[in-house]
Amino acid sequence: MPTWIIYALLSMVFAGLTAVIAKLGLKNVSGDAGLAVRTTFVFLLVWINAIAFRHVREFDQLSWKDVLFLGISGVTTTLSWIFYYRAIKIGDVSTVAVIDKASIVITLILSFWILKEPFTWRIALATALIVSGLLVLTVK
């Protein structure tokens, strides 16, 4: 099994744990306060990881364009997390998570359009199934 698939599967497991654990931590605070605490941990752990594996040496290889795109990605991540935490604070995590994960449809469209990644029948079928599941959950 390729390493990137193992990483993707681990990401899936931890992402699945994240929402349920976060909901437990939001019992006495707003989504925004909970997100601030969570993000502090994320910030510290990411820096520890970068230092421990000596990835900080790569910073001098970043171009201004790399920094710009990573910065924009940081802004979109922040906005996504703010609205996600507000949603799980007041809604059912099971429904919020499905709607949130439907973001893969936007990712797929952008990956074909901007990154010129290949579009296959398997991706088309998977996307149709994701959209169908989203419609089942959200349309009344």
Distance CA(100)–CA(128), nearest Å, equals 16
Residues 19, 83, single domain; the answer is yes
Domain count across the chain = 2
In a domain, residue 112? The reply is yes
Distance CA(19)–CA(114), nearest Å, equals 30
Residues 82, 129, single domain; the answer is no
Residues 55, 116, single domain; the answer is no
pTM, two decimal places = 0.85
- Kindly indicate the confidence band of residue 121, based on its pLDDT and cuts at 50, 70 and 90: very high
Residues 12, 71, single domain; the answer is yes
Distance CA(7)–CA(11), nearest Å, equals 6
Q: What pLDDT does residue 138 have?
A: 82
In a domain, residue 96? The reply is no
Distance CA(88)–CA(23), nearest Å, equals 6
Residues 40, 108, single domain; the answer is no
In this predicted model, what pLDDT tens digit does every residue of 53-104 receive, in sequence order? 999 999 999 999 999 999 999 999 999 999 999 999 999 998 898 889 889 8
Residues 58, 114, single domain; the answer is no
Q: What pLDDT does residue 120 have?
A: 95
Domain that holds residue 114: 102-140
The two tokens of residue 36 are 């601030």
